[in-house]
Amino acid sequence: MSRLAARVLTGTTLAVVAAGLLWLSTRLPGGLLALIVVAVLAPVSAWELDRMGSFRGQGFGAPLVLSALALVLFEGAQVCASHPRTESPFLRLAWDYGICAATVSCVALVMSIAVRPRTPQHARWSAPLLAVWLLPPLFSVVLVDEAFGVVGLTVFVVLAKIGDNAGFFVGRAIGKRHPFPKISPGKTVAGCVASLVAGIVGGALILPFTLGERTPAQFALGALVGGLINVAAQASDLSESWVKRRAGVKDSSALLGPSGGVLDVIDSLFFAGPAALLLWTWVYYAPPLHSR
């Protein structure tokens, strides 16, 4: 089997699994299944970062995993709360950022003093930056599920990922110019444009059907939202590529074969998650967070 065929097979399998999880989410309280999935993805992603090229041996694992655990406990308590909550989803995300930054900074400080006193200064504070970049955006998926249900979550996942496929295949077929050779050598101008077009068209086709109206204004709104989510997703993908270049690796790991590691699959969510949470609050007029 060629590398391309293996990658397509892996991607198709992951898409089927994601569709099954989205269906299962309709049978559970809002945010619960997303929380379970993120609780698995967060430590696996932390493990990949801890073992990634030149990051290996820098002591990133413990601060990242403990920060992930703190967010799992906090969000778990919120999702399982029996009483309605009045805060906005975006305010909850701000709490996630604060808890993550405080936890990882404290753990990194303790480790730098008591466990790894000779750790270089630049490596000593890389863990907090990586944690804030990775963990709260992952948990924004839980907030999207809880506040906007499976419809909002499905639209978010589709718009965040549809551009990846369009960009990959178009860039592979006709891409020649590479706008980010030092960060992401494989990206092409044609691929980036195709990704953006896919996001705009996907938003225009999907969003009006979830709003219950199919007017020209709703199609235009869908195109705008799809484009904004795609830009955030592409920027997020570039940020993960920059982290990998800093570590001196091509893929975050080999867990998923030709598709790379878990971070390589979920990288478009890091900026797109918070962007979707903000946009969905505006588009869908989110009610106060509550368990369904």
Residue 122: burial class (beta carbons within 10 Å; 0-12, 13-18, 19+): exposed
| CA distances in angstroms from 207 to 58, 203, 231, listed in the order given | 44, 5, 17
pTM of the model: 0.88
**CB-side exposure of 105: number of CA atoms within 13 Å?**
8
> Would you give per-residue pLDDT tens digits along the chain (292 residues)?
566 676 667 767 877 888 888 788 777 777 888 999 999 999 999 999 989 998 887 878 888 999 999 999 999 998 887 555 556 788 889 999 999 999 998 887 787 776 655 555 555 568 888 999 999 999 999 999 988 888 889 999 999 989 888 888 898 888 888 888 888 888 899 999 999 999 999 999 998 888 777 788 889 999 999 999 999 999 999 999 999 998 899 888 888 887 788 999 998 889 999 999 989 888 876 444 444 4
- All structural domains of the chain with their residue ranges: 3-283
* Contact indicator for 89, 147 with CB cutoff of 8 Å: yes
Alpha helices in the chain (DSSP H): 3-25, 32-50, 61-79, 89-110, 121-124, 126-174, 189-211, 216-247, 262-266, 269-283
